[in-house]
Amino acid sequence: MKQFNHFAGNKRKKILFFVVFPLLLAAGILLPGNRPGVDPYAAKDHKADTSLSDVLERGVLRATTNYNSTNYFIYRGEPMGFHLELLRLFALDLGVELEVMVSNEISEQLSCLLEEGSCDLLALDLTVTRSRQEHLLFTEPHSRTRQMLVQRNHTGGAAAGPVRSQLDLAGKTIHVQKNSAFAGRLYSLMEEIGSGIHIVEVEETVEQLIEKVARGEIDFTVSDEHLARLHRNYFRNLDVSLPLSFEQNLSWAVRPGSDSLAAAVNRWMVSFRETAQYAAIYSKYYNNSRSVFLAKSPLHSLGGGMVSNYDSYFKEYSRIVGWDWRLIASLAYQESRFDPGAVSWAGAFGLMQLMPGTAESLDVGPESSVPQHIRAGVTYLQWIDGVLAEHIQDEEERVRFVLASYNMGIGHVMDARRLAEKYGRDPNVWKNNVDYFVLNKSQPKYYNDPVVKFGYARGAEPYNYVNEILERYAHYLNALEG
């Protein structure tokens, strides 16, 4: 599971997205009561429930979602997605930070929640079913949908149109994501129509299976209606008109017993669903015909795996300072949104927004090329890192100080370190120590203190600057290959 933490050193390196495993379930005519495999929801050792007070005390909401063209992705450097936006707003409502773990394997997501206890909330399009309610505590639904058969316009050839009745699925082979509600619905449907269906459960995602249908590699799959219709805009040879279920609730879920956390989600969800903001977010991802087209872009983490047109330079010059290239990219996005022509109100210019004096000392100017600007910016980071290394030995911790220094100047950061030491905080630890004095360096009590050498600074900007770069970097770790 790829994990969004607040810094790379804490992340778990486990999966690569879209790895296709061998089929674990042979096609066959099966009865619902004889369904093979292990129930992924029946974890043997469930972790203790997570209360709302646990989340508030920790100060972090840990959620898991999946990586696709609607729920979670990176586009032109910006982390996006329906569930990501909702999670951010819910965390903001609680007043806590957000940590997102990303996986496309249902069994892994469930293990994260039920067995490992490493996340508090499943933020997915989870169909609410009676069997799942035995193992999960569902929240108020975030939306509703039907399960739809996905097929080509002429699955059986030009003379044979698409399947129009559930009864005509007898004997057909349908590929679905393993352990999904779609598989469960098909097993129930077999009993309802009194005939067998060849159900093939695979590790591939719903979106991958939809593309396989469009390319003619398989004949049928099943998808939630909003996702099926979205892909119909891109794959014009698809037919998604046959419903296989009545309208069903799609919800988030928590561990059984986590009643206070579920109540907090419900309170927020019921209120938020009625807002124009919710309607705009939903339409942005599910009623936008461009969504799947964007997913094919090279600057989309699904389509091309690029965060910008300058990734190769970030990768090349990141070696100068010894940082992950994705951290350099996150800094560049923060500075200029990857616009090499950007000029700030203070006169900083270029992709890395170097001030004129700093740029001159690094032999670059407005006329220099983008690679030269990136090299200069990373060289400046290396210089700051070298100065701070004399004081802060922990490399991961030092990165936060380097980022703050890049934004506000190393002198102001050293002032904040001296203030931290004077007031009994740790001058070599950023969070809840030095960051407090950076944030408050605009207060006369602090910038007039005798230990301060560089005076007033607008501390809110560098304080947020560090947090936002590291948050975005964590998203880049989730969605972009190293």
Whole-number Å distance between alpha carbons of 283 and 273: 13
Tokens of 45: 């050792």
First to last CA, the chain: 15
**Three-class DSSP category at 48:** coil
Taking Cα atoms as reference points, which of 4, 91, 38, 51 lies closest to residue 255? 51
1 CB burial (10 A radius; 0-12, 13-18, 19+): buried
The contacts of residue 346 (CB under 8 Å, 6+ apart) are 355
Where does residue 234 fall: left (phi above 0), alpha (psi -120 to 50 degrees), or beta otherwise? Answer: alpha
What are the beta bridge partners of residue 126? 251
- 134 annotated active-site: no
- Catalytic, out of 105, 225, 335, 397: 335
* Beta sheet of 221-224, edge-to-edge order: 221-224, 147-152, 238-243
Residue whose entry in the numeric block shows the structure tokens 């039907």 = 146
CA angle 320, 326, 331 (to 5 degrees): 80
**What residues are annotated to the active site?**
335
